[in-house]
Amino acid sequence: MPHTTSPRSAPLHADDWRICVAPMMDWTDRHCRYFHRLLSPRARLYTEMVTSAALVRGKQLRLLEHSQQEHPLALQLGGSDPRELAQAARLGAEAGYDEINLNVGCPSDRVQSGRFGACLMREPALVGDCVKAMRDAVNVPVTVKCRIGVDDQDDYAGLQHFTELMLEAGVEVLAVHARKAWLQGLSPKENREIPPLDYERVYRLKCEFPQLVVVINGGITTVEHVQEHLARLDGVMLGRAAYHDPYLLAQIEAALYGEPQPPREDVLCRMRPYVEAELARGTALKHISRHLLGLYQGEPGARAFRRTISEGAHLPGAGWALLEQAAAPRSVAA
């Protein structure tokens, strides 16, 4: 039965967004998220973007699959139809997600052709309508992930106006990628690297809208970067750094919460029940192991670890023994 409980009954806690792992297409699937959870008990994890059309019109509810161990967990939706997004948000909440996030930051051509992602920053009133509809449909937080601007919209006033409309719509958490997006002329990869970072613009946003939980994203690669941003903002969202060097998540937990860092070998061993259960379900090892390749990033033997997995995971019958084999000879420098 649909549940329309707006405003939400539970209070929001800014600390819940202190550390987040960004939604990343083709990367943050359920296998990746399970692995990241072992490294960081407190991080807020995000799904890959799921389009509202896939859930509502395509009935692809398999896209909502996740394990209970992944929580706190947010579902990121892409779309621009308020009614359809409300239905998709409801499906996500009923599937157990702790947050529904609207993508207003992806610059890919495919996303633009569907009239969602970063191009929606040009239509803040429509985004507000989408948020209102989603909030009316669920009793979990509805949040927005955006850029600081798009194309020639490169002044603080545009971001300020966008934020004002988000607040009017009921948004309490805004994740801001501190780069603008070029909708024409740059690939999604280039849009993550070429437009310059402007952290000061995000800091100013927090100062002018102190009631808003502001999470910063973009170019954050070290524990020191995280600590610097948290001195001025409510949360930090890591993207590629958390994927390519996942042990960074454990290092952040240690720095912020005093948690002892688990040995990498222990983290890998704790993946074994999950891997074996997934293999028994028919999941190929390569779909899980690709997310583990960076576990020993910067450590002796890291290259050999990656090579053993990359060369063997796709072979018929590949299983847990391959991961043990990959980790065994790490005392030999790659």
Alpha carbon distance 36, 33 (integer Å)? 5
23 labeled part of a ligand binding site? yes
- pLDDT by residue (tens digit) across 155-194? 899 999 999 999 999 999 999 999 988 877 777 777 777 7
Residue 219, marked binder: yes
Whether 146 is catalytic = no
Q: Which of 106, 119, 130, 146 is catalytic?
A: 106
Question: Annotation-wise, does 145 bind a ligand?
Answer: yes
Domain 264-327 fold: Four Helix Bundle (Hemerythrin (Met), subunit A) (1.20.120)
Give the torsion through C-alpha atoms of 89, 92, 93, 96, to 10 deg. -170
DSSP letter assigned to residue 102: E
Residue 141 main-chain phi, psi, to 5 deg: -60, 135
Which segment of 59-73, 140-154, 293-307 scores lowest on mean pLDDT?
Answer: 140-154
Per-residue pLDDT at 2 exceeds 70: no
Query: Identical fold at 14-257 and 264-327?
Result: no
User: Using one digit for the tens of pLDDT, what is the confidence trace for 58-117?
Assistant: 999 999 999 999 999 999 999 999 999 999 999 999 999 999 999 998 877 665 556 778
pLDDT in tens, 217-271: 999 999 999 999 999 999 999 999 999 999 999 999 999 999 899 999 999 999 9
Annotated binding-site residue? 282: no
Instruction: Write down the domain spans for the chain.
Output: 14-257, 264-327
Q: Are 217 and 178 in contact (CB under 8 A)?
A: yes
Asked if residue 134 belongs to a known ligand binding site, the reply is no
Q: Residue 240, annotated ligand binder?
A: yes
CATH class for the domain made up of 14-257: alpha beta
Tokens matching residue 133 = 């509809």
**Other C-beta atoms within 10 Å of 112: how many?**
17
